[in-house]
Amino acid sequence: MMLLRYKKAYEKIAMGLLSYMPGEKAVKKLQEMVHQYENDEDWQLYLLKKGEDFIGLVGITLDEDSYTVMHLSVNPSFRGEGVGSEMILILNELFPDLVCKSNEYTQSFLSKCLPKENDAE
C-alpha cells in the first residue's frame, strides 16, 4: 500500500472517499473540503492506494509541533482490514517529530490505533 499526496487529478476520487464519512454527503460541501486542502499549505490530503485502487483517505492540518487528523475515510469494502491504522502509521513515519492529534470526528478511531506513548505527551 502507498500513501500518495493529493493532486487535482484525484479530486473526484477524494470526494468519493470523503463521502463515506458520516455527515459529509453534499457535493458542494465535499468540493469545499477538497479545495481547502488544495489551497491551504497547512492542510494536507493523502490517498491510500492498494494495487490500482484508492481505498482510503486521510487529511491533516500541520502545526509547528503537531498535526491533527481532520478526515479519515476507508472504502467500505476494505473496512476492518487495518487500512485506517495503516494510514496513521504511515503518517507517524512521515512526521516522526510531530505529535498526532485528533478532532471530534477522528478521536474515537485514533484512540484505538495510536500507540499509547502518545498519551503521555
Task: List pLDDT tens digits, range 17-64.
Answer: 999 887 767 888 999 999 999 999 999 999 999 999 999 999 999 999
- Which grid coordinates belong to 70? 481532520
CA–CA dist 33, 14 (Å, integer):
10
The 10s digit of each residue's pLDDT in 75-117 is 999 999 999 999 999 999 999 999 999 999 899 888 887 665 4
Q: What is the pTM of this model?
A: 0.88
What are all long-range contacts of 74-79, with beta carbons under 8 Å and residues at least 24 apart? Answer: 74/17, 74/20, 75/17, 75/20, 76/20, 78/50
Question: Is residue 50 classed as helix, strand or coil in its secondary structure?
Answer: strand
